[in-house]
């Protein structure tokens, strides 16, 4: 989301880009819309409605489209939730991260644990039954006992969806600097692995389906938006830094908001494009499909990379079948619970 000073210019550029990119999806009906990145909850009800009007004008949208808005608890005050409930938004994804103040302080989050719980309840009261929250595990301040308590708090709300991620320390971030200076506790892989085991066990006992490495749901309430991405379907990204994919190439907008605004205003969005090779299509399919419960289909691999790619896959996957990290049923290869902890490494070893 652009800074507030650029908000009006950003929105005008967004409307123009929606029109300019009207043919990118080839007229396919849009099944999901996702407002993410930054703080889309800063958009007013009128601004959201204008965005929807523009999308409907230039793109066919399914009557049953999943329309998600990503937000932090501190953005979802009662009046905002009321506005959102009167818009086309029908799903919320809330960055809770933890129900403990000590963890939130470590993560440098603005909201408090009490605020997090209140926000979820207010969202439910506003009619958002289709809701997902994010939790983070592997936080040095979070014991295994308190991680279980976080999961129990989530479960008590009876929400249909959970996204849970291991804490990672990105290079050149304030957290990395503080850890390097000994001012913050380091993030330990063993700690994260233990809490992943607790997460998988807890969600299974609570009847949540582990349908992707970091995602769990009840009653088939998958994130339709992310599931489309994992299944390799087309998508159109709008706004600074957004990525688009049309099955043959990938393109992405410039990150700097002012440049985005000026280039779109001139009728030539500043983008970069990469045409995907067969090897890249194969690698991406392996990386994404193995993360999900639907797994990697050998027939799909043959379509993407011919017989040689399929043979490469079958040769290199064998050791993971032998050690119990992967199972096969017919043409479908999926990670076992033991293998899910090593998903990225397994996929990388299968790349061509």
Q: How many CA atoms lie within 13 A of 196 on its CB side?
A: 20
Supply the pLDDT for residue 307.
83
User: Taking the CA atoms of the chain, what radius of gyration do you get in angstroms?
Assistant: 21
177 and 300 part of one domain:
no
285 and 169 part of one domain:
no
Supply the pLDDT for residue 3.
58
Domain boundary among 192, 208, 230: 230
Supply the pLDDT for residue 1.
45
The 3-state secondary structure of the chain, one letter per residue: CCCHHHHHHHHHHHHHHHHHCCCCCCCCCEEEEEECCCCHHHCCHHHHHHHHHHHHHHCCEEEEEEEEEEECHHHCCHHHHHHHHCCCCCEEEEEEECCCHHHHHHCCCCCCHHHHHHHHHHHHHCCCCCEEEEEEECCCCCCHHHHHHHHHHHHHCCCCEEEEEECCCCCCCHHHHHHHCCCCCCCCHHHHHHHHHHHHHHHHHCCCEEEECCEEECCCCCCHHHHHHHCCCCECCCCCCCEEECCCEEEEECCCHHHHHHHHHCCCCCEEEEECCHHHHHHHHHHHHCCECCCEEHHHHHHHHHHHHHHHHHHHHHHHHHCCCEEEECCEEEECHHHHCCHHHHHHHHCC
45 and 155 part of one domain:
yes
214 and 282 part of one domain:
no
**Is residue 160 assigned to a domain?**
yes
Tell me the per-residue pLDDT of 297-336, one tens digit each, with 9 for 90 and over.
999 999 988 788 899 999 999 999 999 999 999 999 999 9
Nearest Cα to Cα of residue 86 among 52, 131, 40, 120: 52
Q: What's phi and psi for 297, nearest 5 deg?
A: -100, 120
For 157, other C-beta atoms within 10 Å of its C-beta total 13
Task: Domain count for the chain, please give it.
Answer: 2
**Is residue 22 assigned to a domain?**
no
What domain range is 292 assigned to? 278-350
65 and 138 part of one domain:
yes
CA 269 – CA 244 distance, rounded (Å): 13
Domain boundary among 230, 254, 287: 230
CA 277 – CA 273 distance, rounded (Å): 13
CA 28 – CA 18 distance, rounded (Å): 15
209 and 318 part of one domain:
no
For 65, other C-beta atoms within 10 Å of its C-beta total 17
226 and 285 part of one domain:
no
185 and 325 part of one domain:
no
Q: Kindly tell me the burial class for residue 50, based on how many C-beta atoms sit within 10 Å of its own C-beta (0-12, 13-18, 19 or more).
A: middle
Q: What's phi and psi for 60, nearest 5 deg?
A: -75, 130
Nearest Cα to Cα of residue 226 among 327, 326, 153, 294: 294
Structure tokens at 272: 């970069």
Nearest Cα to Cα of residue 111 among 95, 126, 133: 95
* CATH code for position 117: 3.30.750.200
- Report in angstroms the alpha-carbon separations of 253 from 196, 237, 260, 273, 285: 35, 8, 7, 9, 23
For the chain, residues with pLDDT lower than 70 are 1-4, 38
84 and 153 part of one domain:
yes
**Is residue 16 assigned to a domain?**
no
Tell me the per-residue pLDDT of 195-251, one tens digit each, with 9 for 90 and over.
999 999 999 999 999 999 999 999 999 999 999 999 999 999 999 999 999 999 999
315 and 208 part of one domain:
no
**Is residue 145 assigned to a domain?**
yes
**Is residue 88 assigned to a domain?**
yes
**Is residue 83 assigned to a domain?**
yes
182 and 291 part of one domain:
no
67 and 214 part of one domain:
yes
């Amino acid at each position: 989301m652009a800074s507030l000073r650029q908000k009006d210019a950003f929105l005008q550029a967004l409307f123009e880009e929606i029109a300019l990119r009207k043919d990118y999806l080839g007229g396919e009906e849009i099944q999901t819309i996702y407002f993410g990145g930054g703080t889309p909850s800063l958009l007013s009800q009128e601004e959201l409605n204008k965005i929807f009007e523009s999308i409907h004008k230039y793109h066919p949208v399914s009557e049953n489209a999943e329309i998600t808005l990503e937000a932090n608890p501190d953005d979802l005050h009662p009046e905002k939730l009321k506005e959102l409930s009167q818009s086309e938004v029908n799903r919320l994804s809330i960055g809770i991260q933890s129900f403990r103040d000590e963890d939130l302080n470590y993560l440098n989050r603005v909201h408090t644990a009490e605020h997090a719980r209140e926000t979820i309840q207010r969202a439910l009261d506003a009619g958002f039954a289709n809701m997902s929250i994010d939790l983070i595990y592997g936080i040095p301040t979070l014991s295994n006992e308190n991680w279980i308590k976080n999961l129990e708090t989530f479960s008590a709300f009876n929400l249909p969806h959970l996204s849970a991620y291991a804490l990672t320390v990105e290079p050149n971030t304030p957290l990395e600097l503080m850890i390097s200076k000994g001012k913050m506790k380091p993030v330990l892989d063993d700690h994260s692995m233990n809490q992943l085991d607790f997460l998988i066990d807890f969600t299974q006992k609570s009847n949540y389906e582990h349908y992707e490495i970091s995602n769990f749901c009840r009653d088939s309430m998958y994130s339709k938006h992310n599931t489309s991405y994992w299944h390799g379907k087309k998508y159109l990204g709008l706004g600074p830094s957004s990525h688009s994919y049309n099955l043959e190439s990938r393109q992405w907008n410039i990150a700097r908001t002012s440049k985005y605004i000026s280039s779109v205003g001139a009728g030539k969005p500043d983008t970069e494009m990469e045409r995907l090779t067969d090897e890249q299509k194969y690698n991406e399919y392996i990386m994404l499909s193995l993360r999900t419960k639907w797994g990697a289909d050998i027939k799909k691999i043959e379509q993407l990379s011919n017989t040689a790619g399929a043979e490469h896959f079958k040769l290199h996957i064998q050791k993971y079948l032998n050690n119990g990290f992967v199972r096969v049923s017919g043409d479908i290869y999926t990670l076992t619970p033991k293998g899910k902890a090593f998903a990225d490494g397994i996929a990388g070893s299968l790349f061509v």
